[in-house]
Amino acid sequence: MVLRLVHQLEDAKEAVGLDAPETEAKYWKAAQSELGTAIGLIQQGFDFLLKAQICEVSPYLLISRNPADWPKKCDKEDIEFAEFRTIDSQDFVKVLDTVSPTRFDPEFVTLFDDLRKRRNRIMHTIDPAFEANVKDILTTLLLGVEYLIGPRQWVRLRKENLEREVDLGYDGDPVSFVQVHDFSTVVDLLDPAVLLRCFGFDRKRRRYHCPSCCHVDDNVEMDVMTALLQPNTPISPNVYCFICTQDQIVERIDCNSSGCMGNVYSPDWDMCLTCKQSRA
Q: Which stretch binds Zn ion (CB under 5 A): 19-27, 111-119, 165-173, 204-212?
A: 204-212
**Interface with Zn ion, residue 12, by CB under 5 A:** no
**Interface with Zn ion, residue 275, by CB under 5 A:** yes
**Interface with Zn ion, residue 155, by CB under 5 A:** no
**Interface with Zn ion, residue 198, by CB under 5 A:** no
Member of 241, 250, 264, 271 binding Zn ion (CB under 5 A): 241
Residues making up the chain, counted from first to last: 280
**Interface with Zn ion, residue 214, by CB under 5 A:** no
**Interface with Zn ion, residue 62, by CB under 5 A:** no
Member of 243, 250, 264, 271 binding Zn ion (CB under 5 A): 243
Nearer to Zn ion, 116 or 276 (CB): 276
**Interface with Zn ion, residue 211, by CB under 5 A:** no
Member of 262, 266, 269, 271 binding Zn ion (CB under 5 A): 262
**Interface with Zn ion, residue 244, by CB under 5 A:** yes
Q: Which stretch binds Zn ion (CB under 5 A): 82-90, 94-102, 123-131, 241-249?
A: 241-249
**Interface with Zn ion, residue 189, by CB under 5 A:** no
In the complex, minimum distance from the CB of residue 252 to Zn ion, in angstroms, rounded to a whole number = 13
Which chain residues interact with Zn ion by CB under 5 A? 210, 212-213, 241, 243-244, 255, 257, 260, 262, 272, 274-275
